[in-house]
Chains A and B, each alone.
Chain A
Amino acid sequence: MTAEETAAALPGASRKGGILLALLGFLVAGAGFITYFTVVPRYFPGLRDSGHLNVAITLLGAFVAAIGLVRCFRARRHRILGSVFLAASGLAAILLPLYVYVLTFQLPSDEGVVRSGEKAPAFELPDPEGKPRALAEFAGKKILLVFFRGAW
């Protein structure tokens, strides 16, 4: 008896709706992943900062897809398509936490960063018109100086 047959023969083991569950899980995980980079930053900056909700959604989606795939195997139908759905959901559920909890914490030490109380280092850089602008131009005014991570 193969593992599949054992699973299929388990009492009470449901075999129904496997592919639909897998599809549902795929859609949920995909939505959790995509909205983190689209809707959430625009309308829910607080949720973007923590990221927990979207991570939970992708994990839930992958879990549902996994249940769906188990049912696909029990029913011996849609096994390939179900696997694809689970693989895609699983990828979302791995990549998003990796991004939220690991990758974005990769920053250099703050030891060399200028501190409060120090003189702001002078610079001269081109503005969008190509005209050089110096910090000194704004002497006498309060300045909010914002550094972006990289390219806009």
Chain B
Amino acid sequence: LQARYEDFQAAGAEVLAVSSSSPDEHKKVAEKIGARFPILSDAEGKAMRAYGLLHEDALKPASFDSPVARPAEFVIDGEGVIRARFLTDNWRVRARPEQLLEALERF
């Protein structure tokens, strides 16, 4: 994602990432990958629930008590309306940067 960040910016878009890790963990990750976009911490799954992505009964290690989301990407326009949605039926597979760029450039 960071590798293509400039392309997304060039398409006039802000990138926002959401995961359930804590802000401290995100700080480490952001430094490691040199992320220039905010990685937001949804430790209680609030945004995940609001977007209908919360995976309630996900298989996960017992030690892992953070919420799990169905991975997804949304393209949102300046009026706050969702213009494109990328869902995957397999959490190994994510949308390609090219697909996201195309959706961003479509409007």
Question: Interface of A with B (CB < 8 Å)?
Answer: 45, 48-49, 51, 100, 103-108, 110-123, 125-130, 133, 135-136, 138-152
- Chain A contacts for B14, CB-based, 8 A: 138, 141-144
Tell me, in angstroms, the Cα distance from A115 to B15 when the chains sit together.
19
Contact A147 B76 (CB under 8 A): no
Q: How large is the interface on B (under 10, 10 to 19, 20 to 34, 35 or more residues)?
A: 35 or more
Q: Among A105, A112, A133, A143, point to the contact of B76 (Cβ < 8 A).
A: A143
Contact B58 A106 (CB under 8 A): yes
| Contact A139-B52, Cβ < 8 Å, known A128-B39, A150-B19 | no
Contact A142 B77 (CB under 8 A): yes
Q: Among A48, A100, A138, A147, point to the contact of B48 (Cβ < 8 A).
A: A147
| Contact A48-B71, Cβ < 8 Å, known A116-B85, A119-B81, A130-B23 | no
- Chain B contacts for A119, CB-based, 8 A: 80-82
Within 8 A of A (CB), among B65-84: 66-78, 80-84
Query: Quick one: CB contact mask for B45-63 with A, threshold 8 Å, 1 for yes?
Result: 0111011111111111000
- Chain B contacts for A129, CB-based, 8 A: 23, 27
Tell me, in angstroms, the Cα distance from A138 to B100 when the chains sit together.
18
Contact B56 A108 (CB under 8 A): yes
Subset of 14 A-B contacts with CB under 8 Å: A103-B59, A110-B70, A110-B87, A114-B52, A118-B82, A120-B81, A121-B50, A127-B40, A128-B24, A140-B78, A143-B76, A144-B8, A146-B1, A146-B72
Question: Interface of B with A (CB < 8 Å)?
Answer: 1, 8, 11-21, 23-27, 29-30, 38-42, 46-48, 50-60, 64, 66-78, 80-85, 87-93, 96, 100, 104, 107
| Contact A152-B89, Cβ < 8 Å, known A113-B53, A120-B81, A133-B40 | no
Q: How far is the CB of B11 from chain A (nearest CB, A)?
A: 7
Tell me, in angstroms, the Cα distance from A141 to B104 when the chains sit together.
11
| Contact A123-B47, Cβ < 8 Å, known A48-B92, A145-B73 | yes
- Chain B contacts for A118, CB-based, 8 A: 81-82
Contact B69 A150 (CB under 8 A): yes
Contact A117 B52 (CB under 8 A): no
